Chains A and B, each alone.
Chain A
Amino acid sequence: MIETAFTPFQSLAGGVLIGLAATLLMWTLGRVMGATGILAGLLAPASLYDFGWRAALLAGMATGPIAYFAVMGEMPPIEVPISTPMLLIGGFIVGVGVTFGSGCTSGHGVCGMARLSKRSIVATLSFMVTTAATVYVVRHVFGG
């Protein structure tokens, strides 16, 4: 386990930017900003236009850490407190879950909640509960 500092102001500022980006995408393209949907659509694009905006959005996202580096002089912290096999297993399970659940933290947790979508509120509650339960089991049952 790796301890992390409580960062309410940075986290709030980051959240505000995430909400702003979601608003801007709705204003320009009329779409919700769900990472799952954007990624899934990029792999099976409906048209060249469809591929174009998804690739541009993804490229912009991946420039985020570089912009952070330009200002802060270092890459944003990415601390992975688990083994590589666990990371791969977790990633695979996330991929299966978000496909069947039609969304993830950004799509359901931010955009859907902001639209007061009943489906998204239920989905968010569902994954928040199982995430907390999984962390509890991994750290306090097996982790000891």
Chain B
Amino acid sequence: MNVLRILSIYLIGLVFGIGIVISGMANPAKVLNFFDFFGIWDPSLIFVMGGAVTVAFVGYRLVLPRPRPLFEGRFQLPTATRLDAKLIGGSAVFGIGWGIAGFCPGGALPALGTGRVEVILFTAALLAGIFAAKGIQAWLRTRTTPTATSGA
């Protein structure tokens, strides 16, 4: 991967990071107040999601009909379609954590640039959670694989 491509990806990250900090998504107080409908409600985050989804919706429709992305051989879109318990339950669990901490991964990663200790602590706990869940997933696979293949 040449320097120009690395620089392009860096700049895309920068656009995302500036967007996150301007929007308020990196500020737990603002995120939590958005969900506090019966308290000090701050509806700002509707505009974040509205703006982001609208632009990405239009942008994807311009980009995805192209034969391939600029730097890669093909588009790598998520292929899963099942609405399973893992998706719904995992997302529900994520919401509980987000409602407690006020940071989501997309808000915290740009916020690391502030050097604030709270962001570093949250990110460390986030990584611990990711590792724990990956460990559980690997353990579940070793438990279910023999039964899944025994009939074959």
Contact = CB atoms under 8 A, between A and B. Distances in A.
Contacts of A39: 105, 109, 126-127, 130
Given A57-B10, A93-B97, A23 B55 contact: yes
**Dominant secondary structure of chain A at its interface with chain B:** helix
**Dominant secondary structure of chain B at its interface with chain A:** helix
Nearest to A36: B105
A1 B110 CA distance: 23
Nearest to B86: A100
Given A35-B105, A99-B129, A88 B55 contact: no
B6 interface: yes
Nearest to B100: A90
A67 B126 contact: no
Interface residues of A, number: 116
Interface of B: 1, 5-30, 32-33, 35-40, 42-60, 62-64, 66, 68-72, 74-78, 80-83, 86-114, 116, 118-119, 121-134, 137
Interface of A: 1-36, 38-40, 43, 49, 52-53, 56-68, 75-82, 84, 86-119, 122-124, 126-136, 138-140
